[in-house]
Amino acid sequence: MDNRYDLIVIGSGPGGYVAAIRAAKLGMKTAIVEQGEIGGTCLNRGCIPTKTLMHSSHLFYEAKHLHAAGLHFEGLSFDMEEIQARKDEIILKVRQGIVSLLEANGVTILQGTATIQKENRVVLRRAATAEELELSAKNILVATGSVPLVPEIEGSTLPNVVTSDDLLSKSTLYPKLLIIGGGVIGVEFASIYSELGCEVEIVEAMDRILPAMDKEISQSVAMSLKKKGVAIHTKARVIRILQGEAGGLVCEYEEKDNVKQANASGILIAVGRRANTKDLFAPGVEVEYDGANLKVNDAFETSTPNLYAIGDVIRGKQLAHAASAQGVAAVEQMCGEKMSIDLTVIPSCVYTSPEIAAVGMSEEEALREGHSVRTGKYPMLGNCKTMISMGERGFIKVIADADTDKILGAQLMCERATDIVGEFSTAIVNGLTVKDLASVVRPHPTYGEAVTEAVEDTLGMAIHLMPKRK
């Protein structure tokens, strides 16, 4: 076996496997190393399992309200073991698809733990046989992703204090779940548990949940969760976790200068994720870091020549599609080709009901950047498809430059927002104006019609909005 490669990719998540396939298509002899299951965190312990559980919880929640559509039935229930089995089935199907794609493109799949040595060498250790294999490559790409961040909180190691990794594999539900952290992970698990009828409480240190997103979206999501019975505490600092009565837990936190306690049967710590670089480098291999992340240049190359890094191990948005795009870009740079993807426009999505999506600048960000801003907004309760599907309140908001009319950003809270946002991403990347987007005929009745209304509202020309008072 020839162990010399043009590229060795470490990690088979959406950044790693995409980079490996693109490298193979560009003529590079490529190997990919994975110590766990092919597909990485996103497929096995992140995006796909979470969204699969959310799909089931959304259906269950909607079914309880189908009497509004004239549908009546008795005995509605769910089986968590069956929901988990369906999740596992989907993961397996996607994993098999990725393996087939890698093999079909001639990528060598190596199972084991990789340690990067000096002089572009990698030692592969196979846990099952204790075998060590030395590999060499012209280029090495680190795509090892991230792991849940667990802060030093007293009581964080108690039974039933869990991370998202743990919660995704449970076949039973906690009757009362307290979530430390109101970011995307926390909010999505709050949706799952509340829609399945559990009691949920969120403790968030910042002044609002989803603090990285547009303020109006954060407020609207909070309103939607509270409607489902979720209790939310903001500007709240967790002090410690205690063992409660009958196997329960108690979270002690400070809110508005008052120390409070909340009981729970399970506590989810969802305060973020950290770069997964533990034991990745052999002694003597010196790589420059940016805080806890690997530092890279615009070509995704680290301080060590021919050693690249992408995805959650570098600073930036921890998103699967961002990692995939970076993987393609890094490989193109290795091959001396021009980057084919605009990495400055990365949409963010939250799969609550209704869905959340944002891309480009918010209104506040555009003003800080010195733009003269013009906004348009369309409330989704006026959209026929939303009415037909019994959708919740939401909106599409567009940010445009008042001087050039170019689209700068968009924030969406509506059904299919995560699909619709791609239209705004395309507009921003290609420098399209509000008139360009308004010139498209969109079918009726669809959620997408609201795009026309929102962009036309930036010009004061929306048909299905009452005229603004002068």
pLDDT in tens, 29-45: 999 999 999 999 999 99
Distance CA 156, CA 175 (A): 19
Tell me: the pLDDT tens digits for 383-439? 999 999 999 889 999 999 999 999 999 999 999 999 999 999 999 999 999 999 999
The mean pLDDT value for 87-116 works out to: 97
**Total Cβ atoms within 10 A of residue 59:** 11
pLDDT of 1 higher than 70: no
Residue pair 407/366 in contact by the 8 Å Cβ criterion: no
pLDDT of 27 higher than 90: yes
Residue pair 348/367 in contact by the 8 Å Cβ criterion: no
Name the band, by pLDDT with cuts 50, 70 and 90, for residue 92: very high
Question: CA–CA distance from 138 to each of 42, 120, 332, 334 (Å)?
Answer: 28, 7, 14, 10
Tell me: the pLDDT tens digits for 170-210? 889 999 999 999 999 999 999 999 999 999 999 999 999 99
Residue pair 22/330 in contact by the 8 Å Cβ criterion: no
Q: Interhelix angle for 80-104 vs 16-25, to 10°?
A: 20
Distance CA 160, CA 396 (A): 39
How much is the pLDDT for 131?
85
pLDDT of 469 higher than 80: no
Distance CA 303, CA 293 (A): 13
Choosing from 67, 371, 444, 464, which is the catalytic residue? 444
Q: List, in order of start, the domains of the chain with CATH numbers.
A: 4-147+274-334 (3.50.50.60), 161-271 (3.50.50.60), 354-457 (3.30.390.30)
Tell me: the pLDDT tens digits for 129-140? 778 999 999 999
DSSP 171: S
Residue 444 bears catalytic tag: yes
Mean pLDDT of the chain: 95
What is the maximal distance between C-alpha atoms in the chain? 77
Q: In 196-278, which ranges are continuous DSSP H helix?
A: 215-227
Q: In 296-448, which ranges are continuous DSSP H helix?
A: 320-334, 363-368, 384-388, 417-429, 434-438
- Residue given tokens 């903001």 in the structure block: 234
Residue pair 422/321 in contact by the 8 Å Cβ criterion: no
The beta-strand segments (E) located in 210-284 are: 231-233, 236-243, 249-255, 258-264, 266-269, 273-275
* 298's tokens: 């615009």
How much is the pLDDT for 130?
77
- Residue given tokens 């619709």 in the structure block: 420
All residues at 6 or more sequence positions from 8 whose CB lies less than 8 Å from its CB, including other chains: 30, 31, 32, 33, 114, 122, 135, 137, 139, 140, 141
